[in-house]
Amino acid sequence: MSAPAAATVTPIRLPDAEATRRAGATLAGLVHGGDAIALVGDLGAGKTTFVAGLVAALGGGSAASPTFSLVNEYPGGRWIVWHVDLYRIERAAELVELGLDDVIGDRRGICVVEWADKFAVLPPDHLRLELAHAPDGDTRILVATGAEARGTELASALTAELLQPSR
Protein backbone atom coordinates (compact mmCIF):
# COMPACT_ATOMS: atom_id res chain seq x y z
CA MET A 1 0.00 0.00 0.00
CA SER A 2 1.39 3.38 -0.92
CA ALA A 3 1.59 6.21 1.59
CA PRO A 4 -0.82 9.10 1.11
CA ALA A 5 0.68 11.90 -0.94
CA ALA A 6 2.11 14.59 1.29
CA ALA A 7 0.92 18.08 0.48
CA THR A 8 3.71 20.02 -1.12
CA VAL A 9 4.46 23.30 0.58
CA THR A 10 6.04 25.83 -1.73
CA PRO A 11 7.78 28.84 -0.16
CA ILE A 12 7.08 32.12 -1.94
CA ARG A 13 9.66 34.87 -2.22
CA LEU A 14 8.41 38.38 -1.53
CA PRO A 15 11.12 40.70 -2.90
CA ASP A 16 9.90 43.90 -1.26
CA ALA A 17 7.21 45.34 1.00
CA GLU A 18 4.95 45.97 -1.99
CA ALA A 19 5.04 42.26 -2.79
CA THR A 20 3.98 41.51 0.78
CA ARG A 21 1.07 43.94 0.43
CA ARG A 22 0.10 42.38 -2.88
CA ALA A 23 0.15 38.91 -1.30
CA GLY A 24 -2.33 40.20 1.29
CA ALA A 25 -4.47 41.65 -1.50
CA THR A 26 -4.42 38.29 -3.27
CA LEU A 27 -5.73 36.59 -0.15
CA ALA A 28 -8.58 39.14 -0.08
CA GLY A 29 -9.99 37.47 -3.20
CA LEU A 30 -10.07 34.06 -1.51
CA VAL A 31 -11.42 34.62 2.00
CA HIS A 32 -14.98 34.63 3.20
CA GLY A 33 -16.73 35.38 6.47
CA GLY A 34 -15.77 33.10 9.35
CA ASP A 35 -12.23 32.47 8.09
CA ALA A 36 -9.35 32.64 10.54
CA ILE A 37 -5.78 33.49 9.60
CA ALA A 38 -2.66 33.08 11.71
CA LEU A 39 0.35 35.28 10.94
CA VAL A 40 3.56 33.93 12.34
CA GLY A 41 7.07 35.31 12.07
CA ASP A 42 9.81 37.28 13.77
CA LEU A 43 9.69 40.97 14.64
CA GLY A 44 9.55 42.91 11.40
CA ALA A 45 8.84 39.87 9.23
CA GLY A 46 6.04 41.69 7.38
CA LYS A 47 2.90 40.51 9.18
CA THR A 48 1.27 43.94 9.48
CA THR A 49 2.28 44.82 5.90
CA PHE A 50 0.46 41.69 4.72
CA VAL A 51 -2.65 42.62 6.73
CA ALA A 52 -2.57 46.16 5.34
CA GLY A 53 -2.72 44.74 1.80
CA LEU A 54 -5.54 42.42 2.77
CA VAL A 55 -7.63 45.13 4.46
CA ALA A 56 -7.11 47.67 1.67
CA ALA A 57 -8.11 45.15 -1.01
CA LEU A 58 -11.27 44.28 0.91
CA GLY A 59 -12.14 47.97 1.01
CA GLY A 60 -11.67 48.43 4.73
CA GLY A 61 -9.25 51.36 4.57
CA SER A 62 -5.68 51.47 5.83
CA ALA A 63 -4.59 49.09 8.54
CA ALA A 64 -1.97 49.89 11.14
CA SER A 65 -0.29 47.76 13.76
CA PRO A 66 -2.67 46.89 16.60
CA THR A 67 0.18 46.38 19.04
CA PHE A 68 -1.24 48.95 21.47
CA SER A 69 -4.96 48.59 20.88
CA LEU A 70 -4.58 44.80 20.50
CA VAL A 71 -7.69 44.35 18.33
CA ASN A 72 -8.39 46.65 15.38
CA GLU A 73 -11.72 46.36 13.63
CA TYR A 74 -11.97 47.39 9.98
CA PRO A 75 -15.63 47.51 8.98
CA GLY A 76 -16.94 48.91 5.75
CA GLY A 77 -15.23 46.50 3.43
CA ARG A 78 -16.44 43.35 1.71
CA TRP A 79 -15.84 41.63 5.04
CA ILE A 80 -15.15 43.11 8.44
CA VAL A 81 -11.52 42.44 9.36
CA TRP A 82 -10.63 41.90 13.00
CA HIS A 83 -6.89 42.37 13.25
CA VAL A 84 -5.40 41.06 16.46
CA ASP A 85 -1.86 41.18 17.81
CA LEU A 86 -0.89 38.83 20.63
CA TYR A 87 2.67 40.19 20.95
CA ARG A 88 2.01 41.93 24.24
CA ILE A 89 -0.25 39.27 25.71
CA GLU A 90 1.50 37.44 28.52
CA ARG A 91 -1.19 35.30 30.13
CA ALA A 92 -4.04 33.32 28.63
CA ALA A 93 -6.46 35.11 31.00
CA GLU A 94 -5.84 38.35 29.09
CA LEU A 95 -7.33 36.77 25.97
CA VAL A 96 -10.77 36.94 27.57
CA GLU A 97 -10.45 40.72 27.97
CA LEU A 98 -9.52 40.99 24.31
CA GLY A 99 -12.95 39.67 23.37
CA LEU A 100 -11.44 37.25 20.89
CA ASP A 101 -14.18 34.70 21.43
CA ASP A 102 -16.70 37.20 20.12
CA VAL A 103 -15.01 37.65 16.77
CA ILE A 104 -13.49 34.25 15.99
CA GLY A 105 -15.89 32.41 13.73
CA ASP A 106 -18.20 35.44 13.34
CA ARG A 107 -19.40 35.01 9.77
CA ARG A 108 -19.64 38.75 9.17
CA GLY A 109 -15.89 38.94 8.85
CA ILE A 110 -12.47 37.39 9.05
CA CYS A 111 -10.10 37.23 11.97
CA VAL A 112 -6.37 37.82 11.41
CA VAL A 113 -4.01 37.19 14.31
CA GLU A 114 -0.35 38.28 14.50
CA TRP A 115 1.87 36.21 16.81
CA ALA A 116 -0.81 33.51 16.64
CA ASP A 117 1.61 30.80 17.77
CA LYS A 118 1.81 32.32 21.28
CA PHE A 119 -1.64 31.02 22.23
CA ALA A 120 -3.85 28.49 20.47
CA VAL A 121 -6.76 30.88 19.92
CA LEU A 122 -7.79 29.95 16.39
CA PRO A 123 -9.96 27.05 15.22
CA PRO A 124 -8.05 24.07 13.77
CA ASP A 125 -9.05 24.88 10.18
CA HIS A 126 -7.28 28.25 10.12
CA LEU A 127 -4.86 29.35 7.41
CA ARG A 128 -1.31 29.61 8.76
CA LEU A 129 0.99 32.14 7.11
CA GLU A 130 4.61 32.08 8.10
CA LEU A 131 6.76 35.05 7.13
CA ALA A 132 10.52 34.96 7.50
CA HIS A 133 13.47 37.14 6.63
CA ALA A 134 15.26 35.53 3.70
CA PRO A 135 18.81 34.52 4.61
CA ASP A 136 20.27 36.21 1.55
CA GLY A 137 19.10 39.81 1.77
CA ASP A 138 16.30 42.15 2.80
CA THR A 139 13.46 40.14 1.31
CA ARG A 140 10.90 37.85 2.86
CA ILE A 141 9.73 34.26 2.40
CA LEU A 142 6.08 33.31 2.83
CA VAL A 143 4.89 29.79 3.55
CA ALA A 144 1.14 29.08 3.60
CA THR A 145 -0.15 25.95 5.29
CA GLY A 146 -3.45 24.86 6.75
CA ALA A 147 -5.32 21.99 8.30
CA GLU A 148 -8.77 20.53 7.72
CA ALA A 149 -10.79 21.34 4.63
CA ARG A 150 -10.86 25.13 4.83
CA GLY A 151 -7.28 25.69 5.98
CA THR A 152 -5.91 23.37 3.30
CA GLU A 153 -8.07 24.95 0.61
CA LEU A 154 -6.98 28.49 1.46
CA ALA A 155 -3.30 27.53 1.71
CA SER A 156 -3.21 25.83 -1.67
CA ALA A 157 -5.32 28.49 -3.39
CA LEU A 158 -3.13 31.33 -2.09
CA THR A 159 0.09 29.50 -2.96
CA ALA A 160 -1.17 28.74 -6.48
CA GLU A 161 -2.17 32.37 -7.09
CA LEU A 162 1.12 33.75 -5.82
CA LEU A 163 3.14 31.36 -7.97
CA GLN A 164 1.50 32.47 -11.19
CA PRO A 165 4.19 33.81 -13.53
CA SER A 166 2.15 36.92 -14.40
CA ARG A 167 2.51 38.23 -10.88
Ligand X SMILES: Nc1ncnc2c1ncn2[C@@H]1O[C@H](COP(=O)(O)OP(=O)(O)OP(=O)(O)O)[C@@H](O)[C@H]1O
Pairing of β 127-133 and β 36-40: parallel
Q: CB-wise, 44 or 59, nearer to ligand X?
A: 44
- The one of ligand X, Mg ion, none whose footprint includes residue 16, by CB under 5 to 8 A per kind, is ligand X
Binding positions for ligand X, rule: CB under 6 A: 14, 16-17, 19-20, 41, 43-49, 65, 114, 138-140
Indicate which single residue of 34, 65, 117, 143 sits in contact with Mg ion (rule: CB under 5 A).
65
Toward Mg ion, which CB reaches closer, 70 or 127? 70
Q: Which of 21/150 has CB closer to ligand X? A: 21
Q: From the list Mg ion, ligand X, none, pick the one residue 143 interacts with, judged by a Cβ distance below 5 to 8 Å according to partner type.
A: none
- HEC letters along 47-59: HHHHHHHHHHHHC
List beta partners, residue 24. Answer: none
Q: Which residues of 73-103 are buried (b: 16+ CB within 10 A; e: fewer)?
A: ebeebbbbbbbbbbeebeeeeebeebebeeb
Q: 154 and 160 in contact (C-beta within 8 Å)?
A: no
Count of residues in contact with Mg ion, rule CB under 5 A:
3
47 makes contact with Mg ion (CB under 5 A): yes
